[in-house]
Structure 1
Amino acid sequence: MNFYTTNLYYVMKTQPKQLIYLLFIIVLFSCQKEEIALELCHNSLNPSSDDVSLDLASEVALNFSNKAKFQNQNNKLKGSSSETNFIDREIGDVLVAPSEDGSPALYIINFNPKGYVIISGTQKESPILGYSENSTFRLDSIPITIAFWIADRMDKIQVLKNIDDLFIPDNIEYEWSYQRAPDPELDPITDPEELPEGMPGGVTLEQKGPLLETTWGQWWGYNTYLDPINGELPPTGCVATAMAQVMKFHEHPSTYDWSLMPNTYGTNETALLMYDIGDAVDMTYNLNGSGADMVDAKNALVNDFGYSTSVNYINFNVNTVAIELSHNRPVIMDGYHTYYTTSSGWWIFEQTTHHYEDGHAWVCDGYKRNKYCTIYNAGKLNEYREYDYGPYYLHMNWGWSGSGMGSIDNNGWFKYDDWEINGVSTSDGTHYNFQHKKKCIIGIKP
């Protein structure tokens, strides 16, 4: 099972990338264009009560941008106060991805001066699908990984929209209610005795990471020592870049001078590291993408680079990933965005072959989720509290920054559960998002 990275010029010719460009409608918030924006979103539509309007998406986005979950990430990591670093954001460009009937499937809302949030176009799904506190989502620099992720989310939201009698879990309704209200951490309830039974008692954030500081890629500065193919240097491969970034985090082994490897661009020392990794995993180099087997990656970490024998290659499990990250161990993830089957033979001798194509490897280096408190019998002797957890958001470092794809603007937090939403499976073999045969390398430590 080889995982390949794709040449920039090749990627721009592929159908998924073009599809994403065609599906987006750019809505600019300005005095002159506000009426046009609303017309673009609602022209000739009879929206259902579960559809999310542009006004509602904007309301949720602004509230979310002021909540502690969005504002305080860097403050908590750096130990500074939220008052000093609070950023007052305004809505900038809005990208609307339409569903089959023309109603919005999702909104990507950029903030001024920075940051963006991805909002579901239906209240049958969680409101916040992904976000970044410090980046801007740009149509001219969408890496193929993000394009596939967006295509998959749109497809699943369409499935939800098509089911009229879909049961919506309480936690989904609570999330929408919470995102439309002020942040309890910024506007706390001062008198618990005024709370009736079963009222929200606040939300706390569980977070780890992002752990990586690197935004490495696969091309210029990283592939210096590779052999040319037809006069051009091939990419290092996504497996090598993912491994290199995790090794840089641990600064192991000591045979490399890690101080000579900057976080944002490649040097000779960085290129030497990636060359050695490629040699250790038996990388197959190609101008359109360099590939390696993830089992070889796991073995190379232990046998060639001196990492613990605890390194293991397993099926993806979000709880396992969260445990790894809580112990300061970034996880190398991989998956395929194309899956199909073929049959051969006849009658009882017929055999089905499963095909997985277009794989990618990247690093997951952070997680976060909300912990919701509900207070019962507030102010009484029998007062008690119950806690529920929101979905995990995983921080992905896609390893594309050196390819010219601009993924440094798209690394961010993404909702993890991309196979099945609210019990509705859409994995029919035609979807993207590297959702098929998703696995990960865990236990990476010196």
Structure 2
Amino acid sequence: MLFASCTDKATMVSKPEDTQEAKQKLNSLALDRKCQVTPEMAKDVAKHFIGSMDKDLANATIKEVIPITDENGKVCMYAVNFSPRGNVILTADIRNAPIYSFSTTGYYSPQTDEGTDPFSCMINEAIAVNKLIAQDFSSDQMRLSAGDLSGHSWKDYDPMKWVVLTECEKPEDSYHDPCEGQPAKKRLPDTVLFQVGPLIQTHWEQGKPYNCYTKHPLFQKRFATGCVAVAMAQIMRYHKYPKRYDWDIMPDECDGEYEDMTEGEKAVAGLLADIYFSVKVIFSSNDGTFMFPEEAVHILKFKFGYNKKMKLSVGFDYPSIKNEIVAKRRPVFMCGLPPKGANRGEKQKIFWKGDIKNGHAFVIDGYKRMIAGRRIDCEGKLRQNLPADYLHINFGWKRTDDRWVYISRYLE
């Protein structure tokens, strides 16, 4: 609505609904600030968690804390790297499940090209899901069932910060805090209830010396074996089939130079070369090689003699993946594809059927269910939340990049 004063100056008067919408946005921003996890909180929780997962890391020192941002530059996660090894990636909003991913062997290194790096795409996917959860958290029904949806919460994970954490949840209509902000008497270790895997013990990759025999006949130089070949080879090594390969001499890792490779390393390189030259290669270079995932299934069935009923499904079918690992003890071949048109440096998501050239093949080979945030509260009662599920991913980039990743109930 526009009013003109006697001075001929126009004054804009907001509609009531516009004012209400603006207030809601301001309230939402204020709540976001209250719910923001600080780097100090992230470090404290990460240190407690990594020590629970590996007793040898109970006294590990924090090497660095890396903020992970969304497309607007807002901090949505923290990556905490430890020395000598291990890392934990945590969400930065206490309305989300705290631990997104962790590794007791490797470290997290930010990728410069987030349009093609698969784990960065997974992180972006998780950030998008977490924002939806945080938005829905404003409703009483969502707040009451938050444990069912997220599996565990920051409130349970960091009891020593009880006052800070409950500040986000005001008004307190949906929660009763018998301790009235007092810290827990004792924090208990995080507990693994059930675990299968990691099934695959190999930590192979695409470069030297694995690509010793992938010389292109026209260019006479070695190309990367390709992520599809590495994923296939590691699954074949797990099953030790077909029998014509000497599986038992193949090492879990290969670190030799081309000129002094062991017989076992040569056997690994030979297997990868067999796959490389069997699968239809679309393009190949020193940095990477692309093959159609459908070709992998075809070759496994008709060249290497695997089950003819094998098929490649589209999408992320969590119940089926869990069943393959837990019930059948079989690692799962997976290919994550960012959407078409992904620009370099753009924050993209994964598990889309889209840009095949920027995709990555990897293996899901483990399942873990755990309870975190266990503590004795101020009244001496044991407090804990619902179990949380994690899948283990072997990315085919040596041991440093293999990790456990949290599966949100929103993705099931």
TM range (shorter): 0.5 to 0.7
Displacement of 1:303? 2.2
Mapped contact 1:123–1:173 kept (Cα < 8 A): no
Task: Identify if the C-alpha distance between structure 1 residues 366 and 355 changes in structure 2 by more than 3 Å, giving closer, same or farther.
Answer: closer
**1:147 is the counterpart of 2:124:** no
Paired residues, number: 316
Displacement of 1:321? 1.2
SS at match of 2:355: strand
Name the % identity.
27
Displacement of 1:277? 1.5
Displacement of 1:99? 4.8
Task: Identify if the C-alpha distance between structure 1 residues 227 and 86 changes in structure 2 by more than 3 Å, giving closer, same or farther.
Answer: closer
Q: Which residue of 2 aligns with 1:379?
A: none
Displacement of 1:329? 0.9
Q: Which residue of 2 aligns with 1:176?
A: 154
Q: Which residue of 2 aligns with 1:105?
A: 76
**1:119 is the counterpart of 2:90:** yes
Match of 1:136 among 88, 107, 130: 107
Mapped contact 1:206–1:371 kept (Cα < 8 A): no
Match of 2:198 among 188, 192, 210: 210
Matches of 1:239 and 1:102, distance apart in 2: 33
Matches of 1:107 and 1:355, distance apart in 2: 28
RMSD over equivalenced CA pairs, Å: 3.7
- Return 5+ residue gaps in structure 1 as ranges: 1-44, 72-81, 183-195, 342-353, 375-385, 402-407, 424-446
Mapped contact 1:91–1:110 kept (Cα < 8 A): yes
- Return 5+ residue gaps in structure 2 as ranges: 1-29, 161-177, 179-187, 256-264, 343-352, 375-383
SS at match of 1:369: strand
Matches within 5 A, 1:243-258: 243-258=232-247
Q: Which residue of 2 aligns with 1:51?
A: 36
Task: Identify if the C-alpha distance between structure 1 residues 371 and 46 changes in structure 2 by more than 3 Å, giving closer, same or farther.
Answer: closer
- Amino acid across the alignment from 1:59: D
SS at match of 2:210: coil
- Amino acid across the alignment from 2:205: G
Task: Identify if the C-alpha distance between structure 1 residues 300 and 100 changes in structure 2 by more than 3 Å, giving closer, same or farther.
Answer: closer
Query: Greater share of strand residues, 1 or 2?
Result: 1
Matches of 2:68 and 2:214, distance apart in 1: 40
Q: Which residue of 2 aligns with 1:364?
A: 364
Q: Which residue of 2 aligns with 1:441?
A: none
**1:165 is the counterpart of 2:138:** yes
SS at match of 2:195: strand
Task: Identify if the C-alpha distance between structure 1 residues 181 and 207 changes in structure 2 by more than 3 Å, giving closer, same or farther.
Answer: farther
Matches of 2:151 and 2:68, distance apart in 1: 23
Q: Which residue of 2 aligns with 1:37?
A: none
Task: Identify if the C-alpha distance between structure 1 residues 164 and 387 changes in structure 2 by more than 3 Å, giving closer, same or farther.
Answer: closer
Matches of 2:391 and 2:215, distance apart in 1: 36
Matches of 1:289 and 1:101, distance apart in 2: 30
Mapped contact 1:236–1:285 kept (Cα < 8 A): no
Task: Identify if the C-alpha distance between structure 1 residues 234 and 173 changes in structure 2 by more than 3 Å, giving closer, same or farther.
Answer: closer
1:112-131 Cα shifts (integer Å, max 9, x gaps)? 34211111000121100000
SS at match of 1:136: coil
Displacement of 1:355? 4.9
Match of 1:276 among 274, 277, 284: 274
Mapped contact 2:158–2:373 kept (Cα < 8 A): no
Mapped contact 1:121–1:157 kept (Cα < 8 A): no
Q: Which residue of 2 aligns with 1:333?
A: 334
Mapped contact 2:294–2:312 kept (Cα < 8 A): yes
Q: Which residue of 1 aligns with 2:404?
A: 413
Mapped contact 1:99–1:158 kept (Cα < 8 A): no
- Amino acid across the alignment from 1:314: S
Displacement of 1:94? 0.8
Displacement of 1:274? 1.4
SS at match of 1:97: strand
TM-score by length of 1: 0.61
